[in-house]
Amino acid sequence: MPPGAGSVIVVVATDAPLLPGQCKALARRVTLGLARTGTTGSHFSGDLFLAFSTANPSALTSTFPENDGSAPYESMRFVPWGRMDPFYGAVVESVEEAVLNVLTGAEPMTGRAGHHVPALPLDRVTELLAARGAVS
């Protein structure tokens, strides 16, 4: 497998009342969080980003219309498009944090055919960050 041929799957879940298009907009922000960690992706990566909202569980029921005198319209609450920026920022920050958690929590492992992957040397990372003034 060529270098960088791994894939990333990110699922963004929220209880904020969002429309399907707004969830799609959140999923598009995942790449910004990944980029903050230094990845650029590759031709061979099969990345998949999904976003969904658990709000409005009874909206958009798509039931067959009844002639029972019930209201002909459904209603649903959603965040106005002009107020989506905090949600975009939250996606970027949470994806970045998730990647950093995986990198710093990983342990060395040996897989099939003796392929060995070392853990990230956290003491060296701390030393490099301190040298740049990023940590004290």
Catalytic residue among 15, 47, 53, 136: 47
Buried b (16+ CB within 10 A) or exposed e, 26-56: bbebbbebbeeeebeeeeeeeeebebebeee
Q: How far is CA 90 from CA 29, 45, 79, in A?
A: 9, 24, 15
Reported as half-sphere exposure (CB side, CA atoms, 13 A), residue 95 has a value of: 28
What is the helix (H) or strand (E) element at residue 14, kind and residue range? strand 9-14
Terminal CA-to-CA distance of the chain, rounded, Å?
A: 39
Single out the catalytic residue among 45, 70, 75, 94.
Answer: 45
Asked if 85 is an active-site residue, the reply is no
47 as an active site residue: the answer is yes
Q: Is residue 53 among the annotated active site residues? A: no
DSSP 8-state code for residue 112:
G
Question: Which residues are tagged catalytic?
Answer: 7, 45, 47
